Chain A
């Protein structure tokens, strides 16, 4: 039972069938609520430790016990400083440090390093408190867009903040101090200052360590404008690294490749050179390296060239191996690769990517659920475009809804695929799925569905099922289900009516005509013709007369023709004339 069960929903929700998420909105809501429940429990435990002192567990389970959140040591001492640092209280730590300096006691180098690291990491601001009441900022395991938005609000490195002040006060500064400052500056946007500090460091004849270089390389595109200047700076940094005998690691090369993405046309050649360098040094490239390299070659918006050679080689290289996440950008690899496959319409490659995802633990590297949705969305669109409908349906059942909730565009792709392969008889089942997924209130989707159904006549059973579906749609429009009702549009009305007519549900069709009048929409001419034919077949002349009167009420140009035809085809009593 190791394989994923495609008919089940995600394991984390398997508690109560009522609470199975059926749409992507429900999925988000439930995940968020689970996470916020956990955070609330943790918060409660941590803020009231006196209720949780008795320890029943044997052996002791540390993660269920209250964590030390509040400060214990109050006196001015290095211990207190260390405590504040470990609890990540930036302001309190800085105050304590100042007090220590004023009191004249020295602070050990190690503690100073830690203090500088703390300040630089948070750029002299307090970190977001985890487990606090504002849980919508801090959903831990499934990072939603809300969390991403708060990531993008990058803090800015202020002038003369505490880090710089403390740094300047230090009697001697070593590599670690510089490293803290430089990394903090790069992280928070003060790129030029970081480079100045680096020059300062070189002037003091100190060697930098690998992390400093990583940070500087990633900040290089910000301090130079032209592509070749950027590359020159990066190359110079790498040379200096070699001179100072600092060994590069995976993150070094990944930052080189990432910076190369912003170097324009130089990126292609240099990226390949960098990859060869990595291989020569024995550093295995991670998914992020391949991601950056491929991005240099396959720009998102350039016209497709049908040459997926590089991607194919990358896939051959990676085939079958299992990865762990070594770089936060690893998770972007799969969705970007699928985008490239989609742009180049290469279904074989997409299958290889999918098999890589299914190998081992690689599915973890699909990232959070937003990234997953993007990946599966692209994959599914590619399938709909390229493959026969049976294959599409097979994947449809496999992916949905256990792994992916398609959005409106995905459903439209599916409808088009059905259309291409003339499997329109499956439309009513798809309609049920659309309702389940919560897209039943999207007007363009319904329009397309109705148009597809009403385009041609089909065999009687199919027509019957279409008619049932059409009635369903009608109830959606009327808002019978308590959802937001949509505005009727002419085409929707026409389609529904003609579907009902074809299935010989005359009574309902007549009701639809009344709806036309009620909603001030004008029926189309074909519709009128169909009605007339049907009346003729049913032999109901009074209906025909009603029809003519109705069309006269709508001032349709076809009225006189309809009238004539009625006169011709039917034996009307004099009264009806």
Chain B
């Protein structure tokens, strides 16, 4: 049943209703009319025929198309969904219709060779339609190239890629293993790739030409850029980064790590002075020996001095207040007593 569906799809592939011009062998083998129109490039024909006979058709990139004698290898992809196939082909048709008219032509011998090649493949009709499509694409590209208009080529290639892969939701039965032309499947390739992996290092990735625009700076040239204050753009960028990655903790340990970073959890091993970093730089004698603050601004004898010595002794035992706060405390007292100087002198207390 699959075959029949493919037949109907390929029928729609054929353009127009013109009578088949050639390829009697086509009809014999495949049993349906294949439409062929007009004349076509002769230069690629012989090489293509020879290559098709060797049954390796490879899609080439732009550079290699100039040299059509290159080896080609082709792997027919199975597309069992006929409706999607039809839409693919019809879209492809529209795309090619917009490009030059003779890009849709195919030599009848090519078609015959294509069908001959396809007949030995398991999925005959699909392979045939694929081969024909590849050939048409080659033709289109060759034509465009011969006209020397490379930008057109780019547009054609871009247009050709419009043929979207059919909706993969329905098109994947389990037997969708692709075959090499020798029918061995590609498990053959798999083991080879594993071996070649060590061999084939970064051959293509970084060894190409450079853009050649920038030159690597040496250390003397590079002055370290002034550390810029993080602008709102940077904050926004950082926010975006954090939001896009997955930051959820996967287990309790990661959650605790995250909390420690945020400050919600103490840092282990527990440090008694955590949170008191600025105090760590102040030596202890500045906390304890506070009499030197009493030397100026206060009388050196009398009840005021007595009082202040008690204040200082109390402050020196206070571990909760910073040195700065203690100094401010003492300074407040200094100001206070200086404001009240006249009262003190009246009471005969103020002895300088």
Q: Are A409 and B244 in contact (CB-based, < 8 A)?
A: no
Q: Is A292 in the interface zone, CB < 8 Å from B?
A: no
Q: Are B204 and A118 in contact (CB-based, < 8 A)?
A: no
Among the listed B157, B163, B211, which residue makes an inter-chain contact with A274, where contact means beta carbons less than 8 Å apart?
B211
Q: Is A304 in the interface zone, CB < 8 Å from B?
A: yes
Nearest B-chain residue to A117, judged by Cβ: B232
Indicate whether A276 sits within 8 Å of B206 (C-beta atoms), given known contacts A11-B250, A306-B178, A325-B245: yes
- CB interface residues, A 72-123, toward B, < 8 Å: 88, 113-114, 117-118, 121
> Roughly how many angstroms separate A302 CA and B162 CA in the complex, as a whole number?
8
In whole Å, how far is B42's beta carbon from the nearest beta carbon of chain A? 27
> Roughly how many angstroms separate A266 CA and B154 CA in the complex, as a whole number?
8
In whole Å, how far is B169's beta carbon from the nearest beta carbon of chain A? 6
Nearest B-chain residue to A210, judged by Cβ: B225
> What residues on B are CB-neighbors of A150 within 8 Å?
none
> Roughly how many angstroms separate A173 CA and B335 CA in the complex, as a whole number?
50
- CB interface residues, B 238-280, toward A, < 8 Å: 240-241, 243-252, 254-255, 262-264, 274-276
Q: Are B216 and A273 in contact (CB-based, < 8 A)?
A: no
Q: Is B203 in the interface zone, CB < 8 Å from A?
A: yes
Stretch from A365-373, A426-434, A455-463, A542-550 at the B interface = A365-373
Interface string of B72-91 (1 = CB under 8 A from A): 00010100000000000000
Indicate whether A367 sits within 8 Å of B174 (C-beta atoms), given known contacts A61-B264, A248-B214, A310-B204: no
Among the listed B75, B158, B205, B214, which residue makes an inter-chain contact with A281, where contact means beta carbons less than 8 Å apart?
B214
Q: Are A273 and B211 in contact (CB-based, < 8 A)?
A: yes
Nearest A-chain residue to B275, judged by Cβ: A59
Q: Is A49 in the interface zone, CB < 8 Å from B?
A: no
Q: Is B209 in the interface zone, CB < 8 Å from A?
A: yes
Q: Is B292 in the interface zone, CB < 8 Å from A?
A: no
Q: Is A265 in the interface zone, CB < 8 Å from B?
A: yes
> What residues on B are CB-neighbors of A447 within 8 Å?
none
Interface string of A305-324 (1 = CB under 8 A from B): 11001101110110000000
Q: Is B19 in the interface zone, CB < 8 Å from A?
A: no
> Roughly how many angstroms separate A142 CA and B248 CA in the complex, as a whole number?
8
Q: Are B244 and A331 in contact (CB-based, < 8 A)?
A: yes
Among the listed A61, A88, A276, which residue makes an inter-chain contact with B207, where contact means beta carbons less than 8 Å apart?
A276
> What residues on B are CB-neighbors of A302 within 8 Å?
161, 165
Q: Are B165 and A264 in contact (CB-based, < 8 A)?
A: no
> What residues on B are CB-neighbors of A88 within 8 Å?
232
In whole Å, how far is A112's beta carbon from the nearest beta carbon of chain B? 12
In whole Å, how far is B89's beta carbon from the nearest beta carbon of chain A? 12
Indicate whether A264 sits within 8 Å of B154 (C-beta atoms), given known contacts A306-B178, A310-B205, A381-B172: yes
Nearest B-chain residue to A363, judged by Cβ: B246
In whole Å, how far is A314's beta carbon from the nearest beta carbon of chain B? 7
Among the listed B186, B193, B194, B245, which residue makes an inter-chain contact with A364, where contact means beta carbons less than 8 Å apart?
B245
> Roughly how many angstroms separate A312 CA and B189 CA in the complex, as a whole number?
13
> What residues on A are CB-neighbors of B263 within 8 Å?
59, 61-63
Q: Is B231 in the interface zone, CB < 8 Å from A?
A: yes
Q: Are B246 and A235 in contact (CB-based, < 8 A)?
A: no
Nearest A-chain residue to B222, judged by Cβ: A247
Indicate whether A413 sits within 8 Å of B172 (C-beta atoms), given known contacts A239-B213, A328-B241: yes
Indicate whether A364 sits within 8 Å of B246 (C-beta atoms), given known contacts A121-B236, A313-B203, A328-B241: yes
Q: Are B205 and A313 in contact (CB-based, < 8 A)?
A: yes
> Roughly how many angstroms separate A574 CA and B51 CA in the complex, as a whole number?
79
> What residues on A are CB-neighbors of B77 within 8 Å?
303-304
Q: Is B188 in the interface zone, CB < 8 Å from A?
A: no
Q: Is B62 in the interface zone, CB < 8 Å from A?
A: yes
- CB interface residues, A 404-427, toward B, < 8 Å: 409, 413, 416-417, 419-420
Q: Are A242 and B161 in contact (CB-based, < 8 A)?
A: no
Q: Are B205 and A317 in contact (CB-based, < 8 A)?
A: yes
> Roughly how many angstroms separate A16 CA and B220 CA in the complex, as a whole number?
61
Among the listed A273, A325, A328, A348, which residue makes an inter-chain contact with B190, where contact means beta carbons less than 8 Å apart?
A348
In whole Å, how far is B95's beta carbon from the nearest beta carbon of chain A? 12
> Roughly how many angstroms separate A275 CA and B339 CA in the complex, as a whole number?
76
> What residues on B are CB-neighbors of A59 within 8 Å?
263, 274-276
> Roughly how many angstroms separate A527 CA and B58 CA in the complex, as a whole number?
51
Q: Is A70 in the interface zone, CB < 8 Å from B?
A: no
Which of the listed residues B204, B206, B232 has the most CB atoms from chain A within 10 Å of its own CB?
B232
> What residues on A are CB-neighbors of B206 within 8 Å?
275-276, 279
- CB interface residues, A 348-391, toward B, < 8 Å: 348, 363-369, 372, 381, 384-386
> What residues on A are CB-neighbors of B151 within 8 Å?
226-228
Which of the listed residues B61, B194, B217, B241 has the most CB atoms from chain A within 10 Å of its own CB?
B241
Q: Is A272 in the interface zone, CB < 8 Å from B?
A: yes
In whole Å, how far is A167's beta carbon from the nearest beta carbon of chain B? 16
Q: Are A114 and B178 in contact (CB-based, < 8 A)?
A: no
Q: Is A299 in the interface zone, CB < 8 Å from B?
A: yes
> What residues on B are CB-neighbors of A264 within 8 Å?
154, 157-158
Q: Are B255 and A141 in contact (CB-based, < 8 A)?
A: no
> What residues on B are CB-neighbors of A247 within 8 Å?
214, 217, 222
> What residues on B are CB-neighbors of A367 within 8 Å?
244-246
Indicate whether A345 sits within 8 Å of B208 (C-beta atoms), given known contacts A313-B203, A409-B169: no
Q: Are A238 and B214 in contact (CB-based, < 8 A)?
A: yes
> Roughly how many angstroms separate A59 CA and B276 CA in the complex, as a whole number?
8
- CB interface residues, B 166-197, toward A, < 8 Å: 169, 172-178, 186, 190, 193-194, 197
Q: Are A238 and B204 in contact (CB-based, < 8 A)?
A: no
> Roughly how many angstroms separate A275 CA and B176 CA in the complex, as a whole number?
35
Indicate whether A345 sits within 8 Å of B177 (C-beta atoms), given known contacts A12-B249, A59-B275, A325-B245: yes
Q: Is A69 in the interface zone, CB < 8 Å from B?
A: no
Q: Are B210 and A280 in contact (CB-based, < 8 A)?
A: yes
Q: Is B340 in the interface zone, CB < 8 Å from A?
A: no
Nearest A-chain residue to B166, judged by Cβ: A301
Q: Are B165 and A58 in contact (CB-based, < 8 A)?
A: no
Q: Is A277 in the interface zone, CB < 8 Å from B?
A: yes
Q: Is B30 in the interface zone, CB < 8 Å from A?
A: no
> Roughly how many angstroms separate A231 CA and B108 CA in the complex, as a whole number?
41
Interface string of A261-274 (1 = CB under 8 A from B): 00011101110111
Q: Is A4 in the interface zone, CB < 8 Å from B?
A: yes
> What residues on B are CB-neighbors of A365 within 8 Å?
245-246
Which B residues lie at the A interface, using CB under 8 A? 59, 61-62, 75, 77, 151, 153-154, 157-158, 161, 163-165, 169, 172-178, 186, 190, 193-194, 197, 200-217, 222, 231-233, 236, 240-241, 243-252, 254-255, 262-264, 274-276
Q: Pick 26 A–B contacts, CB within 8 A, sort by A.
A: A10-B248, A59-B275, A114-B232, A117-B232, A117-B233, A121-B232, A140-B243, A141-B243, A141-B247, A227-B154, A264-B158, A265-B157, A272-B204, A272-B205, A274-B211, A279-B206, A302-B165, A306-B178, A313-B201, A317-B205, A348-B193, A364-B245, A366-B246, A367-B244, A416-B173, A420-B175
Please list the 8 inter-chain residue pairs (A to B) with the smallest Cβ-Cβ separation, ordered nearest first: A59-B275, A301-B164, A420-B174, A272-B208, A277-B211, A276-B210, A325-B245, A117-B232
Extra contacts, 17 of them, besides A277-B210, A309-B204, A312-B197 (Cβ < 8 A), are A10-B248, A117-B232, A121-B233, A235-B211, A242-B213, A276-B209, A280-B210, A302-B165, A325-B241, A326-B241, A328-B241, A331-B244, A343-B165, A364-B246, A372-B246, A416-B172, A416-B174
